[in-house]
Chain A
Amino acid sequence: MKGKTDPDDRVIIIRDLCKSFGTNRVLDHFDLDLHRGENLAVLGKSGSGKSVLIKCIIGLIRPDAGSIRVLEQNIQGLNREELDQIRVKIGFLFQSNALYDSMTVRENLEFPLRRHSFRLAPAEVNNMVMEALRNVGLEHTVDMMPAELSGGMRKRIALARTLILKPEIILYDEPTTGLDPITSLEIINLINAIREKFGTSSLIITHDLKCVKLTADRIAMLIDGRCNITGDFEGLKSSSDERISPFFN
């Protein structure tokens, strides 16, 4: 399910991004643009630096060099308060879901809401929590603990927590890893439904080809720390480039 994107309206612009850990150069002059309303998948081997890339975008990891502009703001130049303000507009779905296991589902969803919006009435907070849960079809889990939920349910709750602040951009870190094929498909459908309903732009980090095929408008290949190749699924699948073909065969 592919949507309309505007190639001139870019919500994320990454230029010459470099990041090393010791002698291991993970990102090496990496360039990438994410257009408004687009689902862009970043495909690469395990350990190729995909998660490092999105952690740099959200400001969890400081890059060594290069620039990251998100919604026209230079991430590296922001102070803590400004970074928190921009983070309201960026949702992040963690690979491990990162649900707070000492809190109920309701408290998990209320957490970002209370941190960013200080003056919400309890009824308003409750409505927003229930709406977010409705969007992922899990209203009945509101008072459950994360440990009581299945892997797929936890992923959907994490997605609901990401959605509760109505972000303009969502960063998905391996959204289908560790899930069975049916649950994976549910998450894929949810990613597409979220884009349809909210018009969000998404950066999807994955090595799941089914997820890439069904969600991505465009694919960027992360190979040797660089992004030299972008294209759509069919185009890359038929490529004879020996760096690309192993991913698709």
Chain B
Amino acid sequence: MIVSKNSRVFLQETGELSRFAARFWREWLKPRYEFREFIRQCFVIGYKSLPLTGLTAFIMGLVLTMQLHPSMIYYGVESLIPSMVGIAIVREVGPVLTALIFAGKIGSSIGAELGSMKVTEQIDAMEVSGTNPFKYLVVTRTAASMFMLPVLVIISDAISLYGSYLGNNIYERTTFILFFRKVFESLIVADIIPAVIKTFFFGFAVGIIGCFKGYFTDKGTEGVGRAANSAVVVSSVMIFILDLVVVQITDLLNLYN
């Protein structure tokens, strides 16, 4: 009985989220355009996330290389470290890790912000001020997430590879040019393009789920906390599901061979 009730709630919420996402696509191209708010959100969502995503990317590149080094030495293939780390970071670690950090920071902040606006009637106030709150709040934040995450991922990949270069230099002297030449020799377009494209979907998922959870918050301040929390949990799970789908598609298209 409990399972069936939970299933019903899950299906209902999935349906509502799908309708919410469909409304985003319907409304985002229709005037009036909230361009100023979109730019402001790009700054808040993109620029202000850069220190955190950059730091985690740097540490991940460094740690990945340091962890990999003894095993590569054991097999006598330490010269492959730049290629291996490059492929791992560009294809998977960079996009997914950055998206997860992004979901933690931006998903929760959007969920909490919109949630508190909902419970304090600020969204209603916007509506009576002649503003479409969906366009002003949801479309701008989701679009900014969708466009800023790929930028953050590209920057994070670069920082991560730099971390890897430093990690490699702890054990052996490699020049910057040689290291990056080896990284780019092993990368093909099919590594980069799907990895960047999937980050648009990750960004969309984080933005729309954060907005959805915040926009339909109820039960006062307790609801705001719950909205922030479930925005992070649901968008993190969604990132992994999307990643799985992208891997299946690229595999079916035989892009890596």
Contacts and interface: CB of A to CB of B under 8 A. Distances in A.
B124 A98 contact: yes
A116 B130 contact: yes
Interface in A201-215: none
B128 A87 contact: yes
Contact of A115 (B120, B124, B130): B130
Interface string B105-122: 000000001001100111
B125 interface: yes
State which size class the interface on B falls in.
Answer: 10 to 19
B121 A96 contact: yes
Interface in A83-124: 84, 87-88, 90, 92, 94-102, 111-112, 115-116
B121 A115 contact: no
Nearest to B121: A98
Contacts of A197: none
B14 to A, nearest CB: 22
Contacts of B127: 60
Contacts of A116: 129-130
Query: Looking at chain B's contact residues, is the secondary structure mostly helix, strand, loop, or mixed?
Result: helix
Contacts of B230: none
B130 A94 contact: no
A87 B130 contact: yes
A7 B125 CA distance: 30
A236 interface: no
A112 B130 contact: yes
B129 A96 contact: no
Interface in B110-152: 113, 116-117, 120-122, 124-132
Contact of B121 (A80, A94, A102): A94
Contact of A60 (B113, B117, B128): B128
A203 to B, nearest CB: 14
Interface string B200-232: 000000000000000000000000000000000
B132 A80 contact: yes
B37 to A, nearest CB: 11
Given A60-B128, A115-B130, A95 B122 contact: no
A221 B130 CA distance: 31
Contacts of B113: 102
A58 interface: yes
Identify which of B116, B121, B126, B132 gathers the most chain A CB atoms within 10 Å of its CB: B121
A98 B127 CA distance: 11
Identify which of B121, B124, B126, B130 gathers the most chain A CB atoms within 10 Å of its CB: B130
Contact of A112 (B120, B121, B124, B129): B129
Contacts of B126: 100, 111
B38 to A, nearest CB: 16
Contact of A92 (B116, B117, B128, B132): B128
Contact of B130 (A84, A95, A98, A101): A84
B135 to A, nearest CB: 11
Given A96-B120, A98-B120, A58 B128 contact: yes
B121 A111 contact: no
Contacts of B117: 100
A80 B27 CA distance: 14
A115 B125 contact: no
Contact of B129 (A80, A101, A115): A115
B12 to A, nearest CB: 15
26 contacts: A55-B124, A60-B128, A87-B128, A87-B129, A87-B130, A90-B128, A92-B125, A94-B124, A95-B121, A96-B120, A97-B120, A98-B120, A98-B121, A98-B122, A98-B124, A98-B125, A99-B122, A100-B122, A100-B126, A101-B120, A102-B113, A111-B126, A112-B129, A115-B129, A116-B129, A116-B130
Given A95-B121, A97-B120, 11 more contacts: A55-B124, A60-B124, A87-B130, A90-B128, A92-B125, A94-B121, A94-B124, A98-B124, A101-B120, A111-B131, A112-B129
Interface of A: 55, 58, 60, 80, 84, 87-88, 90, 92, 94-102, 111-112, 115-116
